[in-house]
Structure 1
């Protein structure tokens, strides 16, 4: 039974005006179910999305387009669409359907929500699609299908074998130390075979990452971490703002995590930031750095020939991990769901003494909680075409307005540049809007003699620098994402 929902006119008008994009399709009821299946496939195989069936579009003589709500005459009229939908996924969990009606509008609009799925979903023609912008692109080559299987986690690159001698791993210091600590009565080659890390005396990618002393020799350009330090707050670093040549961290996966966290922490603690009481050291919780780096090493897509990058700016850290989010994980559910792209790497890592992923499944939650305890902004995630980036801003959790008023408690005036430093806001115009809101409320005013690039703001005469939003005691800390 499909739900039926009555919506108000203003909500119906918003739906009519929706623009098609990476996460949204708006179609007329005349759309053939087979063609609709391409959108279902594309959304399910990429990042999920929504389809609204029942919006007619007419081209006008001036080149513009007129949209109208023109739904199905009754709910049974959409049966052909449901017959197609139910053939696309075995478990029927690849869509959610709701009929929408609105007083004064013609017919029933069908709203389909398509989540990103664990499995590959094909269209009725038997071909899978991927979403790119507002387009459904067919995956019609062997290479494209192989990449889609890797992206979805149907296959994993960690099981690929490498044409190198087994002794590259079985005689390594890392392997010997691990065996003495964890399996003292076993032999390396026998134990590795029992864990499916050796295949016909050839080590797998997971085996090399875990137990080779220097995996980078066998897996160049995809198994190290590069650390960049930019003396800048700009959106992108440049060669001119690079403090020194990038640092390359190498070693087995365990050592990689430890050394990368230590190096990043040391470099960050050398930075001073303008705070409410003058210059102060930047401090990120070590748990956050540890969990985000661990997540990057264990969950990255090793089929991409690219190293993990840690970019340290004056006001933030960026950790870029090659590969898109695995399986059914999206920017909106990554804290409440799991999909292991590299299950052997993750499982065997838990056997190491003081394993970096001992709290399996809690890594990013721990990172978010640690930032919350220091009253810093939650990490932000962005998914690009071939990577996932985590942003750690050194910005207070409180509102920008609170930060400005707190600063003016002990300082006579504040400029746009200083405001951006203490709030973590990157845009000059966004910072101006904060000042304008406070000015509109009568809390601050411009310093009359300072104009143009020198403009500044101060408390109004007789004004009080009170907390604009109150000090929260219980608050939600939702993940912040960049779509």
Structure 2
């Protein structure tokens, strides 16, 4: 690419998450927050010598000021940012030879501040100044310190359920007393100035009442009717349930509940046998919930993990930004535990199945099931993950093959809004379940009028799927092999 074309691209590129443009007149102290914000977030490029309106003014006007700008990553950022600097020769807007400065800022594992000890984070096209709470959250996210190790104010060993500790010790083969385990392993209990301090991980994993100290360490599950969230008079919330307790307890309880909300689709194979497939592979929605529990930022006290279940998609919202060097573009390959002790615990209980491989497997299983890839979005200290089901589209495109039903494969009384073909399959499923069922019983079970039941039976007979052996009383149905 020619230098002229490169300059034109830099002048026209919109500012965003990883790109900013500044005039050469910018003060070094004002450039530092931008460099810090890029380093603390995803990295990026700062182009200096191009005005907001795209005019190329260059950087050759004042060598002393240029030297001051070049010092910014090293002398104005704490710790220093390892920036890569290059110049691109060009002609400025007056037609004179000049240069543009491109400063590449790499994503950093450290938390950086300016000389005034202010931390910034890149959000869209803005360099956002972080308050104290957000700064600590970023500190934990980068793994410079773990919030799960921080002592919980006013907590004592009396707040620990030793039976839960004993059960875990048995699980991992630890033979000493549970109190000994807590005091000698994983910094669950530490001494400061002769006083025992209980860690956040200990309370969250073994506490008698974890929500006493972490009120929003909960999982809230909201089931909506339809495909979108509505408010006011059109509010479409069907269920709104909160799960509390230890992390293990609320994870298991929430997974059990979600299993009752995931639809299953039953289709009739060419061999006249039914096949059932879930709306989403179980591993995928389990992985999202477990990841939210394991990797959420527990220093964010004001919100829960929220699971939103719609007819055609499922959303999991987890407090915290992506941890460590994990970003949206590398989430399948890069693994980082924000809470390594919690992660190990959940792994020991076989909820975290594959360290560092679960997200990639989730993508592969969604693809194998014919669903779109999982979607991740990072908002202001909130990660949102979405699973989308394509089964409803399949049901519309090929109603001879698919029937939407509730988990458990129930067929009775759930026919409202179904197509004629759907009801034919409902009738057939009932016959498969009970070959001796009568037309009256079929009507009672399925909620379909007796005359309509007979039409579906006639259709199944005509298609060579079933036949009747014997009379109406004492006879039975036979499922035929389709040729």
TM-score normalized with structure 2 length: 0.68
Corresponding residue for 1:474?
none
Once the two structures are TM-superposed, the CA of residue 293 in structure 1 deviates from its matched residue by 1.1
Q: Which residue of 1 aligns with 2:341?
A: 344
Match of 1:297 among 284, 293, 299: 293
Q: What corresponds to 1:110 in structure 2? A: 101
Contact 2:374 2:388 in 1 (8 A): yes
User: Given that residues 45 and 116 in structure 1 are in contact (C-alpha distance below 8 angstroms), is that contact kept between their aligned partners in structure 2?
Assistant: yes
Give, in whole Å, the separation in 2 of the partners of 1:385 and 1:272.
Answer: 40
User: How big is the alpha-carbon RMSD for the aligned residues of Structure 1 and Structure 2?
Assistant: 3.7
Question: Which residue in the other structure is 2:57 paired with?
Answer: 70
Please give the alpha-carbon distance, in whole angstroms, between the structure 2 residues aligned to 1:298 and 1:409. Answer: 40
Which moved further from structure 2: 286-295 or 178-187? 178-187
Does 1:33 pair with 2:18?
no
For residues 76 and 184 of structure 2, the distance between their equivalents in structure 1, rounded to whole angstroms, comes to 38
Query: Hey, what's the Cα distance between the residues in 2 that align with 1:239 and 1:48?
Result: 44
Take 1:239 and 1:247, find their aligned partners in 2: how far apart are those partners? 21
Work out the CA distance in 2 between the residues paired with 1:90 and 1:132: 20
Give the alignment partner of residue 148 of structure 2, picking from 134, 158, 164. Answer: 158
The 8 Å contact of residues 249 and 260 in structure 1, kept in 2 or not, is answered as: yes
Kindly indicate whether the alpha-carbon contact (under 8 Å) linking 2:219 and 2:307 is maintained by their aligned counterparts in 1: yes
Map of 1:288 onto structure 2: 284
Does structure 2 conserve the Cα–Cα contact (< 8 Å) formed by 1:311 and 1:319? yes
| Bigger Cα Rg | 2
The 3 A distance-change label for structure 1 pair 371 and 128 is same
Report Cα offsets for 1:423-463 as digits up to 9, x if no partner.
xxxxxxxxxxxxxxxxxxxxxxxxxxxxxxxxxxxxxxxxx
Which secondary structure state, in structure 1, belongs to the residue aligned with residue 239 of structure 2?
Answer: coil
Does residue 120 (structure 1) correspond to residue 128 (structure 2)? The answer is no
Measure how far apart 1:88 and its partner are. Answer: 5.8
Aligned length: 381
1:109 aligned counterpart, secondary structure: strand
1:317 is displaced (CA, Å) by: 0.3
Post-superposition Cα deviations, 1:379-421, rounded to whole Å, max 9, x if no partner, equal: 111111131110111138xxx9xx89x949999xxxxxxxxxx
**Residue of structure 1 equivalent to 2:416:** none
**For residues 220-369 of structure 1, what are the structure 2 equivalents within 5 Å?**
220-221=215-216, 223-234=217-228, 240-269=234-263, 283-305=279-301, 306-350=303-347, 352-353=348-349, 355-369=350-364
- Alpha-carbon offset, residue 95 of structure 1: 3.3
| Matched position secondary structure for 1:382 | strand
Q: Matches of residues 455-470 of structure 1 in structure 2 within 5 Å? A: none
| Other-structure match for 2:120 | 129
CA contact (8 A) 2:162 2:206 kept: no
Query: What is the DSSP-based 3-state SS (H/G/I as helix, E as strand, rest coil) of the residue aligned with 2:318?
Result: strand
CA contact (8 A) 2:29 2:76 kept: no
Residue matched to 1:212: 207
Q: Which is further off, 189-198 or 241-250?
A: 241-250
* Residue in structure 2 matched with residue 168 of structure 1 by the alignment: 159
Does the aligned pair in 2 maintain the 1:230–1:237 contact within 8 Å? Answer: no
Change beyond 3 A, Cα 1:33–1:88: closer
**Matched residue, 2:8:** 13
With over 3 angstroms needed to count, the CA separation of the structure-2 counterparts of 1:245 and 1:31, relative to structure 1, is same
User: CA offsets per residue over residues 192-224 of structure 1, 9 Å max, x none?
Assistant: 111210134442110121223552344222x22
Residues 35-74 of structure 1 aligned to structure 2 (within 5 Å):
35-57=30-52, 66-73=53-60
Q: 2:178 aligns with which of 171, 188, 196?
A: 188
Local SS of the residue matching 2:322 = coil
Shift of 1:188: 0.9
CA distance in 2 between counterparts of 1:235 and 1:242 reads 7
Distance 1:98 1:373 in 2: 45
Q: Return 5+ residue gaps in structure 2 as ranges.
A: 268-275, 402-483
Could you tell me which runs of 5 or more consecutive residues in structure 1 were left unpaired when the two chains were aligned.
58-65, 274-279, 412-483
Shift of 1:285: 0.9
Separation in 2, partners of 1:304, 1:151: 11
Post-superposition offset of 1:243? 4.6
Q: Quickly say closer, same or farther: Cα 1:261–1:114, change in 2 above 3 A.
A: farther
Following TM superposition, by how much is the alpha carbon of 1:287 offset from its aligned partner in structure 2, in angstroms? 1.2
TM-score relative to the length of structure 1 = 0.68
**Is 1:96–1:114's contact at 8 Å kept on the other side of the alignment?**
yes
- After TM superposition, give the deviation of residue 184 of structure 1 in Å: 4.2
